[in-house]
Copies of this chain bind each other. A is one copy, B any other.
């Protein structure tokens, strides 16, 4: 039997267009992977009547209803007392939640107030989930074999509660079909190109296995989804199909599933016992930020010089003034000297350097906005390559950053 879920997002800030509802897409993705079909997503206002109606309708259509938002400590958040009313329940002090809130305040040296203490009152007919990422607990209600879970709207709190309590709880409560997803991550080409390379492959897929293309900022994820009875069989089928895919598009594949370029590059460096430095101009620190977002990056990453001003390229990285004058800051020669300089100044085995025109201004007919030079210096050689991305400023910065990580990855694998 298909198990259906609905998502209800409570929040005036979405209805007035102040924030985009990213929670629902995240939740829908997680439910889908668990074998649960999302039937409807509804965004409603923080009002008693609207909540009662929407919850009643959703429980009439689906086995699972996940509600986010409206759990702040202030009086404009009415979700908790409305759900208590719906489930004919009363608010009682939950000691475990109170202890967690008290601990949270103590760490931050904040005084407990009656308003904050209110977070620890939860309906007596629900199971409360302690929120390690905030103060409002998650609440799991059951009625007539159906489940409603209420969670805070702050994304990291919702995600924490979903991963730790809700998804395991749903898998435990409902008999869900076996679903297996596996994703190949590609970089450096377009969806249309991949789809032409995979056209025959896609047509030959059995009906219970589907291929999806998920593009974002230069990356395209290729996800196979298999649905059936036996997880082991699905895994084996998908593994065989992925071998087929690698034969066709392997040159663009940099990893699988949750891998990230920054993590893969870090693992390669750690494995080799080698170190990395970066020298960034147009990317302005995003490459360093990506690399250092990986826990343990200090094992291999020594630092960066963000040389936004040309004087910094000269004085700190040792780029020759003549190079900048003759070839300009966005040139093969400059970016190679930046990479060599970063390797020398920061004493590393490898260095990546980026210089380009992020925009929106600064472009010329020869070097339009989006022109980016990237160099990778290794012990013994320097490679440089030119790219023209040409989207918005933020997109140029992002594309240049990931492309430089991908070039470094290829260099580390001796693929270039």
A-to-B contact residues, CB < 8 Å: 12-22, 24-32, 37-45, 50, 54, 72-74, 76, 107-108, 110, 113, 115-116, 133, 154, 156, 181, 190-193, 195-196, 210, 212-216, 223, 225, 278, 280, 283-289, 291-293, 295-298, 301-309, 311-312, 315-316, 345-347, 358-361, 388, 390-395, 397
**Contact partner, A19, options B54, B214, B291, B395, Cβ 8 Å:** B214
Report how far A19 CA is from B44 CA in the complex, Å.
Answer: 20
B15 near A28 with CB under 8 A, answer yes
Report how far A214 CA is from B32 CA in the complex, Å.
Answer: 29
**Contact partner, A28, options B17, B28, B30, B116, Cβ 8 Å:** B17
Report how far A19 CA is from B28 CA in the complex, Å.
Answer: 10
Known A17-B25, A284-B289, A285-B292; judge A303-B306 contact (CB<8 A).
yes
Tally of this chain's copies: 2
Apart from A74-B192, A133-B391, list 14 A-B contacts with CB within 8 A. A76-B212, A76-B213, A110-B192, A115-B196, A154-B215, A156-B392, A156-B395, A280-B288, A284-B297, A285-B289, A285-B291, A289-B397, A302-B311, A305-B316
Does more than half of chain A's interface fall in helix, strand or loop, or is it mixed? mixed
User: Which B residues are in CB contact (< 8 Å) with A358?
Assistant: 292
A113 near B192 with CB under 8 A, answer yes
A-B contact pairs, 25 of them (CB 8 A): A13-B214, A14-B24, A15-B39, A16-B181, A17-B27, A17-B28, A17-B31, A17-B32, A18-B29, A20-B25, A42-B42, A72-B213, A73-B191, A73-B192, A74-B191, A76-B212, A110-B193, A115-B195, A284-B301, A288-B288, A289-B289, A289-B397, A302-B308, A303-B307, A315-B345
A212 near B18 with CB under 8 A, answer yes
Of chain B, the residue at the smallest CB distance from A198 is B74
